[in-house]
Amino acid sequence: MNSTFRRTRVRLLAGLSGAVALSVLAVAGCSSSSSSSTSAASASSASPASATSSSAAVPLVVYSAQGYDSAMTKAFTKATGIPVSLDDNSTGPLLTQIEASKNNPKWGLLWVDGPTAFAGLDTQGLLLKGYEPSVTWNSLGSQSVPTDKSYTPTGVTLEGILAYNKAKVPNPPSTYQQLESSTWKGQVGMDDPSQSGPTYPLIAGVMNYLGSVSAGEKYFTALKSNGLIIHPTNGPTLQALTSGQINLALVQSSAAIGATFTDKNIGLKYLSPSTLLPSAIGIDAKASPQVQAEAEKFITFVLSPAGQKVMQSGDPTGDSLYYPVVTGVNPLPALPSLASVKTQTINPYTWGPQETTINNWFDSSIVR
């Protein structure tokens, strides 16, 4: 055969094998990096407490949108030896995944903000009911535990906090109704509930407070004609606040508090009543008993003092700015005291099913 062709063949072969080797390495690297945490954990763990589970440990698949979740899962694996696969994502895609894989679910537990999501899942029978960890709830916690114990609260943030531009707003309003006045025309911003999970509880909370859905609709319509500006999520809304587009932002408490760290110009005020927004963990009803047992262990760990420490240090400018639900744990110093704040809870089982209709209404009437 022609020598030039032979040369080309060799070159081609080399290139091809290089590409194949690269892809093999890549895939191996990917799968190993995902299991590196698990293998490291199982290599290091030798504690007798986890001896029973580490022998035949099935990875616990955690769907979570919390900022401190990777810190938590690593700590959990370290402490118990149970391997964890973390799907750290925004709440929306997580719920989409759960819903889409309904006929063959692959998840172990879900950890997101907002009880309405859990209520919705519970109504579809997707959550394990009846589990309650052996902890002592404080008042925030006991308000947040559902009757059928289909999910467990792990912390609470509030919707109804007003982040305002201290320079431009010397006298911020203290009630929702005050936002309707023309003083604040075009200066108020909030999130879009179809994009930002925690926002629906704010809307539902207002409706709950005002007494009915239609009262709430009237309220938000009034806000809209007063120039309400909508942004997709906490981030862009706060960004609009600091860039001067708006002067008052209705966002989640953890987001607002975190913003004050970087922008000293931002002040905080809780409107009364503020709606409690627990972050919670729900367990997949269709998971195997072994996985469910692991999930329960996870919840126990989260609510333990060690776990709470991780929660408070894992996302110090974001989700860690929560109010604990168990006794014996104090919130981080930056959080304003709730002593003077009137709080309310909304029943996720009544408000949850209405989320779609209310969100759609909001989208078509307020956002547009």
Which residues ranging from 13 to 52 are in contact with other proteins (CB under 8 A)? 19, 22-23, 26-27, 29-31, 33-35, 37
Residue from the set 9, 168, 218, 342 that interacts with other proteins by CB under 8 A: 9
221 binds other proteins (CB under 8 A): no
Residue from the set 244, 288, 342, 350 that interacts with other proteins by CB under 8 A: 244
Per DSSP bridges, beta strands 188-191 and 151-165 are: unpaired
DSSP-derived 3-state class of residue 268: strand
CA–CA distance, 352 with 103 (Å, rounded to integer)? 22
Nearer to other proteins by C-beta: 78 or 137?
A: 78
- 100-108 long-range CB contacts below 8 Å, 24 or more apart? 102/126, 105/284, 105/286, 105/287, 106/61, 107/61, 107/62, 107/63, 107/284, 107/287, 108/60, 108/61, 108/62, 108/283, 108/284, 108/287, 108/291, 108/292, 108/294, 108/295
Tokens for 190?
Answer: 């909030």
187 binds other proteins (CB under 8 A): no
12 binds other proteins (CB under 8 A): yes
* Closest separation in Å from C-beta 28 to other proteins: 10
54 binds other proteins (CB under 8 A): no
Residue from the set 235, 290, 332, 347 that interacts with other proteins by CB under 8 A: 235
Q: Are 191 and 232 in contact (CB under 8 A)?
A: yes
Q: Name the one range near other proteins by CB under 8 A: 55-63, 139-147, 213-221, 327-335.
A: 55-63
For residue 160, count CB atoms less than 10 angstroms from its CB and return exposed for 0-12, middle for 13-18, buried for 19 or more: buried
Q: Are 274 and 343 in contact (CB under 8 A)?
A: yes
Nearer to other proteins by C-beta: 310 or 326?
A: 310
277 binds other proteins (CB under 8 A): no
DSSP-derived 3-state class of residue 112: strand
243 binds other proteins (CB under 8 A): yes
Nearer to other proteins by C-beta: 24 or 46?
A: 24
317 binds other proteins (CB under 8 A): yes
163 binds other proteins (CB under 8 A): no
Residue from the set 57, 207, 259, 271 that interacts with other proteins by CB under 8 A: 259
Nearer to other proteins by C-beta: 141 or 282?
A: 282
CA–CA distance, 230 with 123 (Å, rounded to integer)? 30
Nearer to other proteins by C-beta: 103 or 340?
A: 103
DSSP-derived 3-state class of residue 319: coil
* Closest separation in Å from C-beta 123 to other proteins: 9
Q: Name the one range near other proteins by CB under 8 A: 42-50, 82-90, 300-308, 328-336.
A: 82-90
Residue with tokens 């290139």: 15
Nearer to other proteins by C-beta: 63 or 301?
A: 63
337 binds other proteins (CB under 8 A): no
Residue from the set 41, 61, 140, 161 that interacts with other proteins by CB under 8 A: 61
CA–CA distance, 307 with 72 (Å, rounded to integer)? 7
359 binds other proteins (CB under 8 A): yes
* Closest separation in Å from C-beta 110 to other proteins: 12
67 binds other proteins (CB under 8 A): yes
Nearer to other proteins by C-beta: 44 or 52?
A: 44
Q: Name the one range near other proteins by CB under 8 A: 49-57, 93-101, 135-143, 301-309.
A: 93-101
Tokens for 178?
Answer: 């005050």
183 binds other proteins (CB under 8 A): no
Tokens for 278?
Answer: 């627990």
Taking residue 313's Cβ as centre, other Cβ atoms within 10 Å add up to: 13
132 binds other proteins (CB under 8 A): no
* Closest separation in Å from C-beta 179 to other proteins: 19
- Tell me which amino acid residue 207 is: M
DSSP 214-244: HHHHHHHHHHHHTT-EEESSHHHHHHHHHTT
Tell how far CA 12 is from the center of its chain. Answer: 50
